[in-house]
Amino acid sequence: MRPLIATIDLTAIRHNYALAKRCAPGRRAFAVVKADAYGHGSAAVAAALREEADGFAVCSVEEARVVREQAPKARLLLLEGCFDAEDYAAAMELGLDVSVQGAEQAQRLLDCGPARALNVWLKLDSGMHRLGFEPAELQRWAERLRGAPQVAEVNLMSHFACADEHLHALTDHQLERCHGMQGFAFDQRSFANSAAVLTLAPAHMDWLRPGIMLYGASPFAERSAAELGLRPAMTLTAEVIAMHDVPAGDSVGYGATWVAQRPSRIGTVSCGYADGYPRHAPSGTPVVVRGQRVPLAGRVSMDMLAIDLTDLPEAAIGDAVELWGAQLPVDEVARASGTIGYELLTRVTQRVPRRYLG
């Protein structure tokens, strides 16, 4: 078997969910498991949280089916709502909570036969301008939906654009708009994503929506996951599969972008951009071998990457290489690559086997 594996620590995910709940005592929390639980495997994560989580949140009906098999009784929120009558039929079949983010979705719900009343979450566009109703339109639809046979609860939700940036003015503006929706007696409210769960108590409301924090990555550029008390859930590990002595002046990899400044020992590692490691990771991006950080050397290939082992003379073929995880935060690799931890975790491809612990 090709030596590359993503080891998922389910105990860490349970710890991180419990931390989210401790941030807002008395509130409930949808564990966000969209995008295959941010690359960690939604079936396994839902099963691991089945006894702890108050509910789960997903992007699509297809994702909901996977989670419902593992958590038959949990509340399960469809974050982008239903896109056609078939989606609404599936939502009724599966007993989903559904986001309604515009007049078209709201009308489509009213046009459905009331096979099962749904908990509806009307999405307020509080300032992100991605999805949602303006306040006056939302209140009109709330009044129309209240009492409709297709509707059980009428709830309110919104999403913050800049909660990960300390004291950003837009966050205050969005909070004001959210709290300004007091003219209608919504059954439940949910505003807080991971960043807001961790730092914005006025946004906590009835339901939290922790996402990236569940997987042990930080939503903040300036605060590490470890500082926040989060535990990394995924460790991506490959091996050194070849070694070469490279004379000073010779290059390594496609494009000859890395040139040895001294006689160098170069290791070839069994991971590349087809596995989800970022192709744009520059030379110097760290990996961990034998407990020591060593740098990438040259461009990442489809199936392999190269590392400079010159300062680790004891390194050998077969050594484990941690690309990120317990010893090297995914957020650090992301920063070196000019992206965010969310992208790296969700891009780990299906050809990388997952091994679950805990």
The candidate with the shortest Cα–Cα distance to 297, out of 336, 342, 251, is 251
Point out the annotated binding site for substrate: 130, 302
Q: List 189's β-bridge partners, or say none.
A: 156
Q: pLDDT tens digits, residue range 96-155?
A: 999 999 999 999 999 998 889 999 999 999 999 999 999 999 999 999 999 899 999 999
pTM: predicted TM-score of the whole model, two decimal places = 0.96
Q: pLDDT tens digits, residue range 155-213?
A: 999 999 999 998 899 999 999 999 898 878 999 999 999 999 999 999 999 999 999 99
- Residues in CB range of 13: below 8 A, 6 or more apart: 40, 45, 48, 49, 214, 215, 216, 233
The one catalytic residue among 17, 73, 88, 254: 254
pLDDT at 345: 98
254 given a catalytic annotation: yes
Q: pLDDT tens digits, residue range 313-355?
A: 999 999 999 999 999 999 999 999 999 999 999 999 999 999 9
Residue with tokens 């303006």: 134
The rounded distance, in Å, linking the Cα atoms of 113 and 149 is: 9
Q: What percent of the chain has pLDDT over 70?
A: 100
pLDDT at 167: 87
Residue 37 has pLDDT above 80, yes or no: yes
73 given a catalytic annotation: no
Distance (Å) of CA 62 to CA 65, 68, 78, 142: 5, 10, 10, 27
Q: What percent of the chain has pLDDT over 90?
A: 96
The one catalytic residue among 17, 34, 88, 273: 34
pLDDT at 261: 98
- Residues in CB range of 136: below 8 A, 6 or more apart: none
The number of residues making up the chain comes to 358
The rounded distance, in Å, linking the Cα atoms of 259 and 267 is: 15
